[in-house]
Amino acid sequence: MINCPHCRQPNLPGSRLCSQCGASFTGAQGPHHPGIQPAQAPVQPQHPTASSGILPIGHVINNMHRIDGILGEGGMGIVYRATEIAIQLPVVVKAIRPEFTDREDFRARILDEGRVVGKIDHQNVVQMRAVFARASNIFLVLQFMDGESLDKTLARYVEHGEFMPLENVLAIFDQILQGVGAAHEEGVILQVIKPTKIMVKSGRAKVIVTVPSSATLRLERHPRVARLPPSPEEMRYYTPELIQDHDIDARTDIYSLGIMLFEMLAGRVPFDAPTYYAMVTHHLTSPIPSIRNIRPDVPEHIENVICRACAKDRTRRYASTKEMARALQDGGSIGPPILAGEMPAPFNEVSSDPERAVVDDIRKEMARTVGVSVDDLSSGRSPTDTDTKPPKLILPAIGCLVVIAVVIGIVTWALWSTP
């Protein structure tokens, strides 16, 4: 075994990178020859360490897959680099955390979703090779793809102060559309599509369809399960219907795809903010910025595609990935054009000022509670008052307005005091 000089993580002989921190071992050992594995004695099945729940290197799952190292860790489980022993094929194993698999309803849903995702057979989708349960554990076995995630590719361009070439963006994005479309054909909605879910190598792209983060529309027999709170990273690609907990369909993924296309072209996402509330406000009320103001070489029809994909009202988005792909290729559009900075219906009457939007919502709710209209709340009039009758709700209305003023102050402080 080789201990990483940076994090002290043990790694297999012949490793080029640390499985924990990603540090390079160049010069720390003899030359590494891809495809030639050092001879290893037969490995006996082991049990995970009881203290950490992490599978040790050499652990064999289901007499088929040997754990070689850790690739990463997320909210739902730990992702390992592994080997399918019979054919010496590198794979990825995702172990779902026991605190989720101990719930029988959630466990059944993960297994069913895994089987549906396993039916997706497309060159632009990372293939799910197996899904199985052992005791309190569930393991998902995925195709291993050498390369890097798209976020790392984009970060490199940003670091050098460059944009990804337009032809590269369109070539990679077309493959992403094909992969997501293949998932849709099996009834799978990815919900949040982001660069970390895209693997790229030598101009080829594959979409990672995750379980249980994906929603499988064909699993009607399962009750609806609550979605996990999004991470700050996921909020950049979140859709209005996810925020409002509405039903989702293929157009939900179209919105995330539009956000990601903007990022691939501009080197940054269209909406970013330091707080969860501010991000929610952007996705619900802020129009998409003009990509051509950031990058003038982007053709106008591509800006129009982004604007339509990111429409707040999903009835105005593209209905499918194929429709979006055609629009990118031939400059076509569906319905009247949506311009950058335009707020599509039904949000076009909503103020783009986050503070004013919140105040308006508070006023409407307080008017409903008091039992008057918004205008009556402002004037202190009861709906039954006439010009000859003294206003009976002046004092309650004044109290409500004082509360509104306090809330405005709190909202203003929350929006602008964060560095």
Q: Is 349 a residue whose pLDDT tops 60?
A: no
Q: Is 388 a residue whose pLDDT tops 60?
A: no
The residue ranking higher by pLDDT, 46 or 238, is: 238
Please report, rounded to a whole number, the percentage of residues in the chain having pLDDT higher than 90: 44
> In the prediction, which pLDDT does 415 show?
60
> In the prediction, which pLDDT does 375 show?
56
- Sheet hosting strand 148-149, strand order edge to edge: 148-149, 198-201, 204-207
Q: Which long-range contacts (CB under 8 A, 24 or more apart) does 131-137 make?
A: 131/211, 132/62, 133/101, 133/107, 134/61, 134/62, 136/98, 136/101, 136/102, 137/95, 137/96, 137/98, 137/101
> In the prediction, which pLDDT does 382 show?
42
Q: Is the pTM of this model over 0.85?
A: no
Q: What is the mean pLDDT of residues 264-289?
A: 93
- Select from 203, 207, 198, 201 the least CA-distant residue to 179: 207
Q: Is 37 a residue whose pLDDT tops 60?
A: no
Q: Is 387 a residue whose pLDDT tops 50?
A: no
- Of the listed ranges 32-41, 123-132, 262-271, the least confidently predicted one is 32-41
Q: Is 268 a residue whose pLDDT tops 90?
A: yes
Q: Is 346 a residue whose pLDDT tops 90?
A: no
Q: What is the pLDDT of residues 125-182, one digit of tens each?
A: 999 999 888 877 889 999 998 889 999 999 999 999 999 999 999 999 999 999 999 9
> In the prediction, which pLDDT does 393 show?
52
CATH H-level, domain 40-143: superfamily: Phosphorylase Kinase; domain 1 (3.30.200.20)
Q: Candidates 3.10.20.600, 1.10.510.10, 3.40.50.10440, 1.20.1440.120; correct CATH number of 148-218+230-330?
A: 1.10.510.10
Do 182 and 175 form a contact (C-beta atoms < 8 A)? Answer: no
The residue ranking higher by pLDDT, 404 or 253, is: 253
> In the prediction, which pLDDT does 307 show?
95
Q: What is the DSSP letter of 21?
A: T
User: How many Å is the maximal CA-CA distance in the chain?
Assistant: 99
Peptide bond into 38 cis (omega under 30): no
Paired strand residues for 89: 84
Q: What is the mean pLDDT of residues 120-128?
A: 93
Q: Please list, in sequence order, all residues whose beta carbon lies within 8 angstroms of the beta carbon of residue 245, skipping any fewer than 6 positions away.
A: 227
Q: What is the mean pLDDT of the chain?
A: 76
Q: What is the pLDDT of residues 283-310, one digit of tens each?
A: 999 999 999 999 999 999 999 999 999 9
The residue ranking higher by pLDDT, 318 or 47, is: 318
In 353-365, which positions are buried (b, 16+ CB within 10 angstroms) versus exposed (e)? ebeebbbeebbee
Q: What is the pLDDT of residues 314-328, one digit of tens each?
A: 999 999 999 999 999
Please report, rounded to a whole number, the percentage of residues in the chain having pLDDT higher than 70: 63
Q: What is the pLDDT of residues 64-95, one digit of tens each?
A: 999 999 988 877 789 999 999 999 999 999 99
- Of the listed ranges 1-10, 162-171, 367-376, the least confidently predicted one is 367-376
Show the tokens assigned to 85: 């022993």
Q: Is 35 a residue whose pLDDT tops 50?
A: no
Integer Cα distance of 172 and 206 in angstroms: 9
Integer Cα distance of 17 and 33 in angstroms: 14
The residue ranking higher by pLDDT, 370 or 108, is: 108
Do 82 and 68 form a contact (C-beta atoms < 8 A)? Answer: yes
CB neighbour class for 347 (10 Å; exposed up to 12, middle 13-18, buried from 19): middle
Do 11 and 81 form a contact (C-beta atoms < 8 A)? Answer: no
Q: In 10 A of CB 392, how many CB atoms?
A: 13
Give the residue ranges of DSSP H helices in 160-226.
166-185
Concatenate the DSSP letters of all residues of 46-67 into one string.
Answer: ----TTT-PPPTT-EETTTEEE
pLDDT category of residue 12 using cuts at 50, 70 and 90? low
> In the prediction, which pLDDT does 65 show?
95
> In the prediction, which pLDDT does 54 show?
85
The residue ranking higher by pLDDT, 238 or 16, is: 238
Concatenate the DSSP letters of all residues of 215-273 into one string.
Answer: EETT-TTSPP-PPPPPPHHHHTT--HHHHTT----HHHHHHHHHHHHHHHHHSS-S---
pLDDT category of residue 97 using cuts at 50, 70 and 90? confident
